[in-house]
Amino acid sequence: MATRDQQWSSAEIRRMLIVRIGAMGDVLHAMPAVAAMRAAHPDWSIEWVVEPRWSPLLKAADATNRSAAMPLVDKVHLAATREWKKSPLSAKALRDIASLRHELRGGGFDVCVDMQGSIRSAVIGRMTGARTFAGPAHPWEAPARWLYANKVSVSSAHVVEQGCELLGAAIGEALHPAKVTLPVDMHAEELCASRLRQLDKEAGFVLIAAGAGWGAKQWPAERFGAVAAELDRAGYRVLINAYSQEDTLANEVVLASGGRAVVFPCDMAELIAATRRMALVIAGDTGPLHLAAALERPVVALFGPTDPKRNGPYGTEARVLRHGAERRDHRRLHEPETGLLEITVDEVVGAAFDLLQGRTGVDAGKVVK
């Protein structure tokens, strides 16, 4: 293990490991820094530890090496920490943890960087035996910092830029956010293209992601439904992101739209494929919003207790709606935040049409390559 004050020259580095387990938006926020490092060092082996549910953000199901199906990293390691947390002492959890430790120990990593800042991510990073292990000086979970050999202070406002500071300090270079290329899963692309052809509308498609990580960030379903109805009247096919056809929240939005919107269930790979084809995405501070930004789709972002200066859509054309800009509250409250409720249907519809102007005629049948 490296000493606390060891500094690296990038000339000494050949193997890197990123630990950013989840969640969806956080994985996406870490990727521009890794993309910048990849562009600067195309010969490095860069690997990533992530929760299984988010692995499609890094690789298509059948990808085995760097390609369009796995464009950013050379290997993905799966850490099912959510499942382990449910039964930490079960035989399966203990076997899985031991297997991951063995896998990571054999990686021969020069540098490991914890881009999450939690105790579990820090423990995973520490088990690699990397020659140095870097993490944030002020992590999300404070005890994690005691596991880092190199503690990096960051000062940027946005988490994407903070990621560049953290990763840049770990490799001894200045990094600036780079364009992210997401995997192309050909099966998901073809399936999505086929489904959208059946729903085709001349003006194009709009995706609404009505869910949120917790209640304080969730704009009411009836308002999303009213927005969907207005966009449908203007000729757009409005799809409601869903986990399944029976998704309760998605169906509430469709009901509130008068049946004008369509429940559009898809897994992670299919959501990537679908988002590529959207004329617009409307969402709160949630994973699908940040996915759309990574894919450079225009977005209308509805913010309440979280600060868009820190967590807002990055790298795309966006209209960010927020009332009460001085408030910031990450408590997992159940009820929508007061400022979020001040955002009106008319404001969202107006922002949507501002972005949709000149963005019609999306080709639903195209397979992105």
Q: Note the pLDDT tens digit of each residue in 11-56.
A: 689 999 999 999 999 999 999 999 999 999 999 999 999 999 999 9
Whether residue 177 lies inside any domain: the answer is no
208-242 pLDDT, tens per residue? 999 988 778 999 999 999 999 999 999 999 999 99
Instruction: Determine, yes or no, domain membership for 234.
Output: yes
- Residue 352, pLDDT score: 97
Per cent of the chain over pLDDT 90 is: 82
Asked, for residue 349, whether it belongs to a domain, the answer is yes
Based on the domain organization, do 228 and 329 belong to the same domain? yes
The residue type of 17 is L
Tens digits of residue pLDDT in 320-333: 999 876 566 667 66
Nearest to 210 by CA among 254, 269, 264, 250: 250
Task: State whether 198 and 160 are in the same domain.
Answer: no
Contact between 343 and 321 under an 8 Å Cβ cutoff? The reply is yes
Which residues are CB-contacts of 149 (< 8 A; sequence separation ≥ 6)?
Answer: 1, 2, 3, 4, 6, 132, 133, 134
83 in a structural domain: yes
Q: How far apart are CA 244 and CA 187, in angstroms?
A: 19
Which two tokens mark 212?
């949120």
Question: Which pLDDT score is estimated for 115?
Answer: 98
Within 96-183, strands assigned E span: 111-114, 132-136, 150-152
State phi, psi for 365 to the nearest 5 degrees: -90, -5
The CA-atom distances, in angstroms, between 266 and each of 113, 219, 247, 335 are 32, 22, 11, 27
What's the chain's average pLDDT?
91
pLDDT at 89 over 50: yes
- Is the separation of the CB atoms in 100 and 126 below 8 Å? no
From residue 258, give the alpha-carbon distance in Å to each of 61, 145, 253: 37, 51, 9
Same-domain pairing of 51 and 157: yes
What is the structure's pLDDT at 360? 39
- Whether the pLDDT of residue 361 is over 70: the answer is no
The enclosing domain of 218 has a CATH number of: 3.40.50.2000
248-253 mean pLDDT? 98
Q: Confidence class of residue 358 from pLDDT cuts 50, 70 and 90? A: low
Indicate the Cα dihedral angle 64, 65, 67, 69, nearest 10°: 30
**Does 366 reside within a domain?**
no
236 secondary structure, DSSP code: P
| Whole-number Å distance between alpha carbons of 283 and 300 | 7
153: buried, middle or exposed (CB in 10 Å: 19+, 13-18, 0-12)? exposed
* pLDDT single digits (tens) 161-208: 999 999 999 999 999 999 999 999 999 999 999 999 999 777 799 999
Mean of the pLDDT values across residues 112-139?
A: 96
Indicate if 150 and 216 belong to the same structural domain. no
pLDDT class for 146, splitting at 50, 70, 90?
A: very high
> 157: which residues sit within 8 A by CB, 6+ positions away?
309, 310
Choose the final residue of a domain: 129, 144, 171.
171
Q: Looking at the structure, do residues 333 and 234 belong to the same domain, yes or no?
A: yes
Q: What is the mean pLDDT of residues 297-314?
A: 94
Query: Domain tally for the chain?
Result: 2
Look at residue 65 and tell me if it is in a domain.
Answer: yes
Structural domain contains residue 293: yes
Half-sphere exposure of 199 (CA within 13 A, CB side): 25
**Domain limits for position 145:** 10-171
Q: Which residues contact 176 (CB under 8 A, 6 or more apart)?
A: 36, 164
Question: In the structure encoding, which two tokens stand for residue 191, read together?
Answer: 């399936």
Amino acid sitting at position 291: L
Residues 90 and 156 in one domain: yes
Asked if residue 109 and residue 56 are part of one domain, the reply reads yes
Q: Which residues pair with 151 in a beta bridge?
A: 135
Alpha-carbon span 186 to 62, nearest angstrom: 10
Report residue 5's pLDDT band, with 50, 70 and 90 as the boundaries. Answer: very low
**Least confidently predicted of 69-73, 292-296, 299-303, 323-327:** 323-327
The predicted structure's pLDDT at residue 367: 34
